[in-house]
Structure 1
């Protein structure tokens, strides 16, 4: 989907460098200095407008969160949400998920969230799916031992594909939920998409997995 141009985006990026961190590769292996503590780091790949990551940061103040978004006109919206929240345990970076190893050293991340990722339904685009094996290889490198990937989507085809991809990669499935909101998990933080789809009665699929 083409994103609406925001003429104020560049100015926002320049004036909020403490929230949307420029040149993230410069902090590889030293993200704790950005937060000023040694709390565990969790990342969301494809953070969108920022509702999930700000909700998580608010719910878990003893954890640090990094939202990753490649689209400039989206990340500034998330940045405004972070600024308005006043939370200090969350920053954002404008980066491609394919470059994760340029941003984090091995075992630097405690957990990864993949929320409503682009399904890339055409077979020729399979390599772009965030649960394709080349991305899983990146996640395995930067995750600490026993670090989890939590994956949520409304797309049944992508969910089924991802379960197979996780299994082929030799990962352990800790949870497979075909109707997340029927579970009524009190700790679940909804994304903007999740609220929209749930209001229409669509099922939300979630799984938790880890590397062996």
Structure 2
């Protein structure tokens, strides 16, 4: 993905500390201090422009959400959405998803969302995929017991790899769809990529897995 440089992005993120948490490590083990209500916490790793996480937060006010995105020039779009909607149960982190254990303690998070992650199609890059075993271990270290991963992609190869990775790690497969938009699944909230790909006729794959 080619990113447009937005030199003003850093200043904008820094000017909204009520929405973008600048020092998340200080809340490790105490994320309830950040939100108005103490309730389950769901995170999206690679939140992009924020459509999914903002709509989820609006639809489920009984859950707290954090959108995590590495690129400043992308997460500012999520911040725009958050400012416009003024959603009290949503915060943003402009950090690297590979360092989750620096920001979250065991049991802080109830669910991890992975939506349209980079497929890293070359075999030698498999370790970079967000469903690789090292990432699954990372999520396990911050999730509650029996915590879940919800995963969506348009990439068949990544989906097949992920199902195998989940199985080899010992996760319980709770739900799988090989064609989400032609299934009976209710309550789906699309990401920007999902809408774009589905309009082109791409099949959307989705699954839910649980640690045990």
Normalising by structure 2, we get a TM-score of 0.97
How many pairs align?
212
Q: Trace 1:72-111 onto structure 2 (pairs within 5 A).
A: 72-111=72-111
C-alpha displacement at 1:184, in angstroms? 4.4
Which residue of 2 is the match for residue 16 of structure 1? 16
Does the CA-based 8 Å contact 2:65-2:90 persist in structure 1?
yes
- Note if contact 2:36-2:88 (Cα within 8 Å) is conserved in structure 1: no
Cα distance in 2, alignment partners of residues 118 and 23 from structure 1: 26
> Matched residues in 2 for 1:9 and 1:59: separation?
28
**Alignment partners' CA distance in 2, 1:7 and 1:22:** 18
Alignment deviations for residues 30-63 of structure 1 (CA, whole Å, 9 cap, x no partner): 1111103211000000000000000100100011
RMSD: 0.9
Hey, what's the Cα distance between the residues in 2 that align with 1:5 and 1:186?
A: 37
1:63 partnered with 2:75? no
The runs of 4+ residues in structure 1 deviating greater than 3 Å are none
Which residue in the other structure is 1:120 paired with?
120
Aligned-partner SS, 1:107: coil
Q: Which residue of 1 aligns with 2:30?
A: 30
* 2:10 is equivalent to residue 5 of structure 1: no
Distance 2:184 2:75 in 1: 29
- 5+ residue gaps in structure 1? none
SS of residue paired to 1:11: helix
Deviations 1:47-83 (A, max 9, x none): 0000000010010001100000001110111111111
C-alpha distance after superposition, 1:7-37 (max 9, x if no partner): 2212211211111110111111111111032
How many Å separate the matches in 2 of 1:112 and 1:91?
15
Q: CA deviation at 1:2?
A: 2.2
Q: Tell me the equivalent position of 2:157.
A: 157
How far apart are 1:141 and its partner, in Å? 1.4
Which residue of structure 2 lines up, in the alignment, with residue 135 of structure 1? 135
Equivalent residue of 1:43, what SS?
Answer: strand
1: CA distance, partners of 2:203 / 2:184 = 13
What is the CA-CA distance between 1:99 and the residue it aligns to?
A: 0.6
Q: How many angstroms apart in 1 are the aligned matches of 2:40 and 2:84?
A: 23
Question: Which moved further from structure 2: 178-187 or 97-106?
Answer: 178-187
Q: In structure 1, how many angstroms separate the alpha carbons of the residues matched to 2:156 and 2:10? A: 37
Cα distance in structure 2, aligned partners of 1:169 and 1:105: 21
For structure 2, the residue ranges without an aligned partner over 5 or more in a row are: none
